[in-house]
Amino acid sequence: MTSTIEQLDADLVTDEAVRPDLPWRTIVWDDPVNLMTYVTYVFRSYFGFPREEAERLMLQVHNDGRAIVATGDRESMERHVHAMHGYGLQATVSRAEP
């Protein structure tokens, strides 16, 4: 006689492939409104980046049009985007590429 758990395992059939969840990222986009010093301030005050890292990311936003400022689980990245919007910066969440 089989136990209930063994029977449930035997009845379970799945056709779905299991893959690890890729990390998500927060992207800050360039805009014509915010000053570079303000973007640096936001990166330092919100993310706690040292001055050099905040300035590097700000210049990446300015020169390349965007910068990835954080990577992690989706919920955390959505919180970061919401915070960036609160600071008046344009930001989005996207799935990291494999």
Alpha-carbon gap, residue 68 to 75, rounded angstroms:
16
Residue 23 near residue 72 (C-beta atoms within 8 A) = yes
Joined together, the tokens standing for residue 90 give: 């344009």
Alpha-carbon gap, residue 72 to 35, rounded angstroms:
27
Domain contains 87:
yes
51-80 pLDDT per residue, tens: 999 999 999 999 999 999 999 999 999 999
Domain contains 36:
yes
Task: Give the number of domains in the chain.
Answer: 1
Domain contains 18:
no
pLDDT at position 70: 97
Range of the domain at 75: 32-98
Domain contains 52:
yes
Domain contains 9:
no
Domain contains 68:
yes
User: What pTM, to 2 d.p., does this model score?
Assistant: 0.77
Domain contains 16:
no
Return the CATH number at 59: 3.30.1390.10
Over 70: is that where the pLDDT of 19 sits?
no
3-state secondary structure 31-75: CCCCCHHHHHHHHHHHHCCCHHHHHHHHHHHHHHCEEEEEEECHH
Domain contains 3:
no
Over 60: is that where the pLDDT of 4 sits?
yes
